[in-house]
Amino acid sequence: GPSADLSRRRTSRRLGRGWAVAAISSKDRHSGCWGRGDRERIAAATKWVRERTGAGPATVALGASSGGAAACYVPGVDASVAQIMASPLHMGSAHPPVRFVHMERDKRRAAMIHHQVAALRAAGVDAGEMVVHPEPLDAAALYRRGDGPGGEVLPTPETAEAVVAALRRSGFIDERGYLVEDPRRSNWRDTVREAVPAADTLVADASPVSEIMNVAFAQHEFTDAHLE
């Protein structure tokens, strides 16, 4: 799905800049969520990669949702990127430099992050926030999400056009192309099932189409926005 695809594209870009990249799984493989119990797991993984690649001592962490919180408490981290999540740490000078990437429709989390950025800056920490806005859902986004390897969503432009047309006919997309309901809660799957290849299960947090729709709605999803 796009989460794996985005990870591959991020990895390619970082390798091109001389970084050693480690993709780490959480201890809880049932939910996939991260917790404080993962701290030592992360430390061991980064140590293993550093020893085998000869990478320097600097560590930058990126994660989304509970992984965004984990990115802030990676042992010895020099900077963090926390997507769609506030920091769980004390808002003091010991907090690592951080960039929060959050989505416009999540007003509660946006307010929390805005407060944290102000508090961290007051404590002398390099902190900032980047907002991801809703975007029209069109055939181009459903066909490919970005250039290069890992950008594929649907196999052909015609398939993508058929999915958009089905969503529009059923009222899930407005006249400007924006989703009118949160795709995590609306029953759009029955509408597009006939047009989407069976290889895409349309299961939440696994389906490429599902995740692209979540990004377009801009409520809560791993994203390539502000990737650079």
Does 21 have pLDDT greater than 50? Answer: yes
- Given this model, what pLDDT does residue 55 score? 85
Q: Exposed, middle or buried: residue 178 (CB in 10 Å: 0-12, 13-18, 19+)? A: middle
Is the alpha carbon torsion for 11, 14, 15, 21 positive or negative?
negative
- Given this model, what pLDDT does residue 1 score? 40
In the beta sheet, which residues pair with residue 99? 81, 128
pTM attached to this predicted model: 0.84
Does 101 have pLDDT greater than 90? Answer: yes
| Residue 103 neighbours by CB distance under 10 Å | 23
Can you give the three-state secondary structure of 87-144, one letter per residue?
CCCCCCCCCCCEEEEEECCCHHHHHHHHHHHHHHHHCCCCEEEEEECCCCCCHHHHHE
Give the mean model confidence (pLDDT) for residues 97-126: 97
- Given this model, what pLDDT does residue 22 score? 83
Q: What is the pLDDT of residues 184-216, one digit of tens each?
A: 999 999 999 999 999 899 998 888 899 999 999
| Residue 193 neighbours by CB distance under 10 Å | 13
Residue 26 one-letter amino acid: S
Q: What is the pLDDT of residues 50-83, one digit of tens each?
A: 898 888 888 899 999 999 999 999 888 999 999 9
Mean residue pLDDT across the chain: 88
Give the mean model confidence (pLDDT) for residues 20-35: 86
- Bigger pLDDT: 16 vs 208: 208
